[in-house]
Amino acid sequence: MDQHFDVVVVGAGAAGLLCAGTAARRGAKVLLLERNAKAGRKVMITGKGRCNVTNFCDAAQVIQNTKRNGKFLYSALCAFSPRDTMELIESLGVPLKVERGNRVFPVSDRAADIVDALAAFAGGSGVKTRFQARAKALDIRDGRLRGVILEDGDRLSASKVIVATGGMSYPGTGSSGDGYRLAKQAGHTIVPVQPSLIPVVTKENYCRDMMGLSLKNVTVTLTQEKKGKEKVVFQELGEMLFTHFGVSGPLILSASSHMDAGKLEEYRLYIDLKPGLTLEQLDSRLLRDFSENLNRDFANSLSHLLPAKLIPVAVSLSGIGRGVKVHQVTREQRRRFAQLLKRFPLTPAALRPVEEAIITSGGVSVKEVNPKTMQSKLLEGLYFAGEVLDVDAYTGGFNLQIAFSTGVLAGNACMDCAD
């Protein structure tokens, strides 16, 4: 194999595939390195295997939904917007659809179709891909970037290297922190990495009793107590899931991104199981249901109100004995039960390991990267794209869009410099 290239892209994920294809379309001789046997391993598992490819919104909304360093992305999003992503994917033969929250998915609901399209974009642009090839180090001599040194000892010559290795989440997909090591070698600061968009372990054992129960159209509220005052830091309507260790699902993942892993004792989660009803309306609903079940046990009167797995837990937390008849439930007990359903409590005990995070927060400091080109301010010819940067957003397709936008910007910018 010819060992000299114009551009070497490290990492064949969402950012790397678009980055490599973009540079190649500009006439560059591009080599794409991927440590796995296939490209897009992490893209394959996004959106529960359906791939939430982007969000049907404008650049300003992506920035608003980026919780860390959103303004850094302005040039990237202007260069390649969510609409541009949708047009490209559809031009590659994958029809898209828009679902709740403006989330964009392939009509087929198959993440593999997105991966195949991105790989076709890169390959059809003339990119050469080398699989099972891990970058060991940047080749820096006399203060200049000369290329990449592989783990097997191969030395690849290139004047431009783009690091698009992802973060540290799901290491089985190849995201194991390689990019941070390469960035450090060039003198870059790595903002401490912690999990983001991750399931939450709770202190309550009753989550295990409801394992597998998915709740739709509920509102999750995350509060934080500081100096004796409880402040709402997140609140959203959507879906969540009970697990053997606690809670997961879209709402919980989004809420987790607002938590400081070192201060979990300050946070509380509350679920409004009936967000469509006010407390008074819910009390009236309970009163109506009770009137139709006066001689039944309280625990057996809730089947039209709550999922079966939730009923024993709710009854236990209510303090109303399972053997108590409906007609024996006092007005005050009924009101307290309604309050419980509007503010079902959960106490975060821990976040799941960083390896299980959808994305990682932290990474290469954006203060040391030019936002108009994604080029390192410390080493000419070195670029970054995607999750390796200290930029992360909420769920909804925003993180993949960031990968696409920064990848396209880096791919174009490295060729602009060569023109």
Say whether pLDDT at 157 is over 70: yes
Residue 75 · residue 371 · CB < 8 Å: yes
Name the domain boundary from 331, 351, 371.
351
**Looking at residue 411, which CATH number applies to its domain?**
3.50.50.60
Mean pLDDT of the chain: 92
295 plus 312 within the same structural domain: yes
Name the domain boundary from 351, 374, 408.
351
67 plus 161 within the same structural domain: yes
> Is residue 40 situated within a structural domain?
yes
pLDDT in tens, 305-346: 999 999 999 999 999 987 899 899 999 999 999 999 999 999
Element (H, E) at 352: none
Amino acid letter for position 271: I
Q: Give 49 or 358, the one with higher predicted confidence.
A: 49
Element (H, E) at 6: strand 4-10
Name the domain boundary from 328, 351, 374.
351
| Per-residue confidence (pLDDT) for residue 262, from 0 to 100 | 85
Tell me the average pLDDT across 9-18. Answer: 96
Classified as helix, coil or strand, 276 is coil
| Per-residue confidence (pLDDT) for residue 174, from 0 to 100 | 42
115 plus 144 within the same structural domain: yes
Amino acid letter for position 396: G
402 plus 337 within the same structural domain: no
Q: How many domains does the chain have?
A: 2
| Per-residue confidence (pLDDT) for residue 2, from 0 to 100 | 45
Q: In which domain, by residue range, is 189 found?
A: 4-193+361-416
290 plus 323 within the same structural domain: yes
| Per-residue confidence (pLDDT) for residue 74, from 0 to 100 | 97
pLDDT in tens, 176-225: 679 999 999 999 999 988 777 889 999 999 999 999 999 999 999 999 99
